[in-house]
């Protein structure tokens, strides 16, 4: 190992041991805690994750508890964190760990990496943080730090670059210190060598940082742009109950596979591209929505535009226009009994209290809560 590398590993470790943040998953060495925290931290900020982490472990304190829980409960505990396939995969993998390894996360790189939803980064994080094994954990933060420090100009969006950086990161792990060193790298990326404003002047490895010396700390890492999310326009129906269902809202469950599988939502439809969202007047839009609802056996009359909302998933951007609707069938409960096609879509009338039982994606959680808030204020 050359001096630039030795210096990096040594100084980083010293800095980390003096400055590490007190994070709940660091308070005790428990592979299950490390695993849950690493899955939650994917695409999500530390501050956001902390309360979720506490609640999740209170509800599911062990691998077995998670494995045995109904999926609905797990999704509910994840509600608001987004990327729900993470929660589903985590539970599926917890079941594997329960059945195949007696509920103990195995101290074995191959076995850990074969668990559902556990990719090379998470494998490295679990093996190093929880078991102190010298396995690199390379994510976007680590690639940024190492690209800058070693002044690497390879495109970090390419898998071959990641593989090369993994070799480099592995070589840098000081003997017997994998847990602290990998966390130190992550910590440096999170606190000092940040994407837009690296704090080089207080960085523990600035002296030998080739990117900084070349004045390229803001140029690196090189990353080709991912494709922007595909825009989709949607009309949604906020169907307000009458009679026995007065004050309730009709929600439906998403299919068992695909985006946001089995979560609950307001019924909505994809607007054909040529129709457009902005170009279409509300009467035509409400007509289209009425027809789409009817094709699912739900007879409603949209009568007024309520609100516009947007949400970006990793690959799709939804622009949604929500219309208030009234149920048309004489018995409002029966409006969703006949379901078109060969699959059954479940619909339910829900009150504000029922929101506690069902898991909603953020977009709908906010819309429905907003509706209940406004309607209660109106009544009050
Ligand atoms: S000196 Fe600057 S660019 Fe280099 S690792 Fe430190 S913060 Fe990043």
Mutate to test the pocket of ligand 1, among 143, 187, 200 (most ligand atoms within 8 A of CB): 200
pLDDT of 55 above 70: yes
Q: Which residue has the higher pLDDT, 380 or 338?
A: 380
pLDDT of 138 above 80: yes
Q: What is the pLDDT of residue 90?
A: 97
What number of helices (H) and strands (E) belong to the chain? 15, 7
- One domain for residues 125 and 206: yes
- One domain for residues 14 and 122: yes
User: What 3-state class would DSSP assign to 21?
Assistant: coil
Task: Please list the residues that pair with 231 across neighbouring strands.
Answer: 317
Q: Is the separation of the CB atoms in 313 and 356 below 8 Å?
A: no
pLDDT of 302 above 60: yes
- One domain for residues 246 and 369: yes
- One domain for residues 134 and 268: no
- One domain for residues 136 and 267: no
Q: Domain of residue 363: give its range.
A: 230-379
The region of weakest confidence among 152-161, 167-176, 275-284 is: 275-284
- One domain for residues 88 and 122: yes
Domain containing residue 296: CATH number: 3.90.79.10
pLDDT of 187 above 70: yes
Tell me the CA–centroid distance for residue 24 and ligand 1, in Å.
27
Query: Across residues 298-320, what is the average pLDDT?
Result: 91
Given 3, 11, 38, 296, which residue is catalytic? 38
Q: Which residue has the higher pLDDT, 335 or 285?
A: 285
Domain containing residue 176: CATH number: 1.10.340.30
- One domain for residues 54 and 201: yes
Q: Which atom of ligand 1 is nearest to the CA of 148?
A: 3
Residue 38 known to be catalytic: yes
- One domain for residues 95 and 171: yes
Query: Across residues 23-37, what is the average pLDDT?
Result: 94
Select from 213, 241, 265 the last residue of a domain.
213
pLDDT of 303 above 60: yes
pLDDT of 277 above 70: no
In a domain, 220, yes or no: no
- One domain for residues 138 and 271: no
Query: Across residues 153-157, what is the average pLDDT?
Result: 96
- One domain for residues 170 and 297: no
Q: What is the pLDDT of residue 244?
A: 81
Select from 213, 243, 274 the last residue of a domain.
213
Question: Closest residue (by CA) to atom 5 of ligand 1?
Answer: 149
In a domain, 221, yes or no: no
Q: What is the pLDDT of residue 295?
A: 85
Residues with CB under 6 A from ligand 1: 145, 148-149, 192-193, 198-200, 203, 205-206, 209, 211-212, 217
Q: What is the pLDDT of residue 346?
A: 81
Write the burial class of residue 22 (CB in 10 Å: 0-12 exposed, 13-18 middle, 19+ buried).
Answer: exposed
pLDDT of 164 above 70: yes
Select from 213, 238, 254 the last residue of a domain.
213
- One domain for residues 25 and 172: yes
CA distance from start to end of the chain: 72
In tens, the pLDDT along 63-89 reads 999 999 999 999 999 998 988 889 999
Q: What is the pLDDT of residue 367?
A: 95
In a domain, 314, yes or no: yes
Element (H, E) at 144: helix 140-149
In a domain, 224, yes or no: no
Element (H, E) at 101: helix 85-101
| Number of domains making up the chain | 2
Q: Is the separation of the CB atoms in 125 and 36 below 8 Å?
A: no
pLDDT of 335 above 60: no
User: Quick one: pLDDT band at residue 341, thresholds 50, 70, 90?
Assistant: very low
- One domain for residues 236 and 177: no
Tell me the CA–centroid distance for residue 163 and ligand 1, in Å.
22
Question: What tokens does 326 get?
Answer: 């009234």
């Amino acid at each position: 190992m050359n001096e630039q590398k030795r210096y990096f590993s040594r100084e980083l470790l010293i800095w980390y041991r003096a400055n590490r943040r007190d994070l709940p998953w660091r308070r005790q060495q428990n592979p299950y805690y490390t695993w849950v925290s690493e899955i939650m931290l994917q695409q999500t900020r530390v501050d956001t994750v902390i309360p979720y982490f506490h609640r999740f472990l209170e509800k599911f304190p062990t691998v077995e508890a998670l494995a045995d829980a109904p999926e609905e409960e797990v999704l509910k505990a994840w509600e608001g964190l987004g990327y729900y396939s993470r929660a589903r995969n985590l539970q599926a993998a917890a079941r594997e760990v329960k059945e195949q390894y007696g509920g103990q996360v195995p101290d074995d790189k191959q076995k850990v990496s074969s668990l559902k939803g556990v990719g090379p980064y998470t494998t490295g994080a679990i093996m190093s943080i929880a078991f102190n094994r010298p396995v690199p954990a390379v994510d976007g933060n680590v690639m940024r730090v190492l690209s800058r420090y070693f002044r690497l100009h390879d495109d970090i969006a390419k898998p071959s670059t990641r593989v090369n950086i993994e070799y480099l990161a592995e070589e840098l792990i000081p003997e017997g210190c994998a847990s602290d060193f990998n966390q130190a790298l992550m910590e440096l990326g999170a606190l000092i060598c940040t994407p837009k404003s690296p704090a080089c002047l207080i960085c523990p490895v600035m002296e030998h940082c080739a990117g900084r010396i070349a004045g390229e700390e803001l140029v690196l890492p090189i990353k080709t742009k991912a494709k922007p999310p595909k825009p989709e326009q949607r009309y949604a129906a906020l169907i307000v109950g009458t009679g026995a269902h007065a004050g309730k809202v009709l929600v439906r469950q998403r299919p068992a596979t695909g985006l946001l599988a089995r979560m609950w939502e307001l019924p909505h439809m994809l607007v054909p591209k040529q129709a457009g969202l902005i170009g279409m007047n509300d009467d035509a839009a409400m007509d289209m929505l009425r027809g789409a609802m009817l094709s699912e056996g739900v007879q409603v009359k949209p009568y007024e535009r309520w609100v516009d909302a947007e949400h970006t998933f990793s690959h799709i951007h939804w622009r949604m226009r929500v219309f208030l609707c009234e149920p048309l069938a004489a018995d409002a409960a029966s409006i969703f009994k006949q379901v078109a096609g060969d699959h059954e879509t479940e619909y339910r009338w829900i009150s504000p209290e029922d929101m506690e039982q069902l898991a909603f994606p953020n977009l709908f959680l906010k819309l429905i809560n907003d509706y209940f808030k406004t309607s209660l204020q109106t009544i009050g």
